Structures are given as C-alpha cells and as structure tokens.
Amino acid sequence: MTAPARARALHTRAGRNEFFGRALAHPIRTILIVYAATRLLAVLAMWVAATWFQTPAGVGHLDPGVGDILRLWDAQWYRRIAVDGYPLPLPRDGDTGEITYSAWAFFPLFPMIVRGLMALGLDFTVAAVALNLVLGAVGAVLIWAISRKAVHAAPQAHRDRLALLATCLWCLYPATGILVMPYSEPLALVLTAATILLVMDRRYWWAAAVVIPLGFTRAVAPAVGIVVLVHLVARMGGDLRRLRTEFRGQWAGLITLCMAVAVSAVSWPVVVGLRTGRATAFYEVQAVWGQRPEKGPFVQWLTWAWGLHGVFGIALVAGCLGAYVVLVAGRHGRWLPLEVRAWAYAYPLYLFAVVRPITSMWRFLVLDFPLAALVASVAMRTSTGGPIVGHWRRRVLMLALPLVVGMFWWTATLLTYVPWGASPP
C-alpha cells in the first residue's frame, strides 16, 4: 500500500484499527518513532523560542539560535565540570567571604561521561546532546517495560495498550524538552527506571550495582529506598513469618541492595565534604540556590503558599497533593505494579518535602513517569476504571494537543534566559 493510500485508510475505522494494531504489535519500534518525533518537536520549540522569545542580551549576540538555547542554564555548569572539573578551594564571595555558587552543587556522573565522549574530539554540547538523545530513548523503553508488568498489580486485560500509550504520553510531557539539553535528567531516568525494573524482577545484585551510580547523578535514592521497602513488604504479603522462606537464597543480594541505597543517598555529599575539607559543603552550596532542607519537610512550600494566598494557598497545595494521592491509589492507578505506585508516591512527595518552590519542578517531574500511566488510564478507560472506551483515540488527541502547546510554552518561557529576570527550567 502506498503512503497516500495509508493516509486515506486512517479515515476509516478499519484503517485506524489496523494502524494501531501494528503499533501495538511492535511496541519498541512505536516508542522509538514517537520518541524521535517528539524530540524533533522539542527542537522546533527551541527554534521558535530562540527566534521570537530569546533576547540577544541573554546570549551575547544579536542572532540567537537553537545552539544558544542548548548552552543556557545548568548546561553551563555541566560544561565547566566536564572541561575544568570541580574548583578547589571551595569558592567564596569576594566581598562577604561567604560560600557562593559553584559546580559542587551538581552531581558528577553525567559531565564525566560527557568528558569521556569529548576525548573522541566532540564538542561538549554535541557530545552531551547525543548522549542524552540515546539515554532518553532507553529511558522511554524502560518506562514501557515497567508499566506493562503485571506483578503486584490488579488484573488488566489491556495492560500492553495502556503501557504503550503511557510511554507515548510521557514523551509529550512539556518538560521532556530537557532530554535534548545537556542536563542529567536522561541519565537519572535510565538509572532510576532500571533500578525499579530490576527490583521488580528480584535481581537485587544488579539493582545494587545500578543504584550506586544513581547517587552520583541525582539525589533520588531516598525515594528509591521507599520502592525497595514496599517491594519487600509486598513479597512478604504482610506476614513477617514469610521472611525466612520468601527470600531464601536472596538475602545477600537483598542486604547489599539496601546498603547500596543507603550509600547512594549520601555518597556525593560525603565526597564533596572530603574533597573540600568541609563536611557540610554540598548542603551549603545548595543553600546558596535557596535549598533549605534543614527547615523541615514541606516547610518551604507551605511558607510559599501562605505568603501567596494565606489559608487558601495552603489548602490548594494540600488539595493538589491529596488529589494526586487519591488518583494513584484509585482505580486508575491499580493496574500499575505496586513498586511503580510506590515511586509515584515517594518521588513527588520527596520533591515537595526537600525542594523549594521553583519553576524547575516541571523538569524534576520528568522522572515521575507513573503520572503518564495515570493519564493514559483516564484517557482510555471509563470513569470507573473499567473497559477501554470506544472513543479513546479522540480523548488521547484532546490530551495530546495541550501537551504540545505546553511544550512550546515551557520552552519559550523557561528555557530562554533574560539577564534581568528569568525563571529556571
């Protein structure tokens, strides 16, 4: 069948069913095609942002382009690390003597891998973007592999279809434009998803080996620890007497995994302390950017909400968190494996507990891939979480269009840089 004939066939129910049947029969190919198409869309959004929204003052010349967008924000810090390493002694403000902004706030694994690619003669931006495009594709396939597993999940006859759609919707999440940038999100996604998948497959030694480098990529090990804990409880079925029989022959790997998660949670702060000679150096540099975990969990968000709208602001934040928790626990979340639901709880709640209110939250939520699975279920199934509805394609289209608009909005609003006032991506 020729290409025009295929296009005409999509106007018929039979043609659409055949098209989606082929997509479902070759899920990895479908995911990679959707991933590639959405990356092109992200680059187009960057071109639009560079052409019509990026001020020349933010890039230092009169003709901003996509290359300038790729080099903004945290990409500059990762470039410094890849090229020059970390500064010693710990940088301080020349006037006040206080600890100031420095590369020590950024985790080392991503820029070190890029440095290895640069040894082949590649420019930093080229090496970083090429690496992230590959990692993003791997991450998308891992999201699909996790979502389609039926372990510790409610029965779902259309699991494969939901998993495929969830992955495609994740590719359209507005902040996934960051997968084209020299940022650490793609590497963190691959390591996080691989760890969760290995835990679900009970391959604890491999999970331990993957979670250690995660500690040098992003500070998400505490949330991964919750996933491991929930997995163990699920295997025991709530009966402590099953500890001896359920984990026979796996205790060494399991204990190693738990230790690896603990090490991963503190590894980079400890290394920073040892290298700089100041035990709290990592947290002090983070504090320059406004991170204040010592104030207590959720305090910065509640303070921000109170200052913005008083009691109504706090009620709004609490309501959003509560609605999310109910959505994960409800009928649209039960088709997901328990470990995935644990991540859906642990990661965003961990973010709200320790990260200050900042526009970068949109980017951080790229790792909350279960959210796409929840949206896929809402789009495809009845309000009671029942069978697939006949008009699910129209529902998905209605979701996809605002997501595409959101990608352009996110890119034009947050990826661009204005020296006198801008919000970080």
pLDDT computed for residue 240 by the predictor = 65
Which secondary-structure segment (H or E) carries 115?
A: helix 109-118
Query: Tens digits of per-residue pLDDT, 74-117?
Result: 999 999 999 999 999 999 998 898 999 999 999 999 999 999 99
Q: Looking at residue 414, what is its pLDDT?
A: 94
Q: Is 149 helix (H, G, I), strand (E, B) or coil?
A: coil
Residue whose tokens read 């991540």:
343
Choice between 333 and 296, residue whose per-residue pLDDT is larger: 333
pLDDT of residue 24: 75
Q: What is the pLDDT of residues 143-185, one digit of tens each?
A: 999 999 988 888 787 899 999 999 999 999 999 999 999 999 9
DSSP 104: G
Q: What is the pTM of this model?
A: 0.94
Instruction: Tell me the pLDDT tens digit for each residue of 309-327.
Output: 899 999 998 899 899 999 9
The pLDDT, as a whole number, for residue 103 is 97
pLDDT at 16 (0 to 100) = 61
Cβ 170 vs Cβ 143: under 8 Å: yes
Residue partners of 370: CB distance under 8 A and separation at least 6: 328, 333, 336, 340, 341, 343, 344
Q: DSSP secondary structure string, 56-85?
A: GGGTTSSS--HHHHHTSTHHHHHHHHHHH-
Which of the residue ranges 207-216, 333-342, 391-400 would you say has the lowest mean pLDDT?
391-400
**DSSP secondary structure letters along 7-63:** HHHTTSHHHHHHHHHHHHHSHHHHHHHHHHHHHHHHHHHHHHHHHHT--GGGTTSSS
Return d(Cα 75, Cα 72) in angstroms, integer. 6
Tens digit of each residue's pLDDT (9 = 90 or more) over 20-37: 778 778 899 999 999 999
Instruction: Centre a 10 Å sphere on the Cβ of residue 302 and count the other Cβ atoms it contains.
Output: 17
248 pLDDT band, cuts 50/70/90, is confident
Tell me the two tokens of residue 224: 């991964």
**Neighbouring C-beta atoms of residue 5, cutoff 10 Å:** 9
Q: How many residues are listed for the chain in this entry? A: 425
Q: Taking the CB of residue 145, how many other CB atoms lie within 10 A of it?
A: 19
357 prior amide bond cis, ω within 30: no
Residue 226 has which token pair? Answer: 């919750």
The pLDDT of residue 324? 92
Q: What would the pLDDT profile of 372-390 be if each residue is shown by its tens digit?
A: 999 999 988 876 666 778 7
Token pair listed for 156: 């779902």
What DSSP designation does 389 have? P
The better pLDDT of the pair 236, 187 is held by 187
pLDDT of residue 337: 95
Of the spans 2-6, 232-236, 373-377, 386-390, which averages the highest pLDDT? 373-377
Sign of CA dihedral 49, 52, 53, 59: positive
168 CB-near residues (< 8 Å, 6+ apart)? 30, 31, 34
The percentage of the chain sitting over the pLDDT mark of 70, rounded to a whole number, equals 93
CB 161 within 8 A of CB 392: no
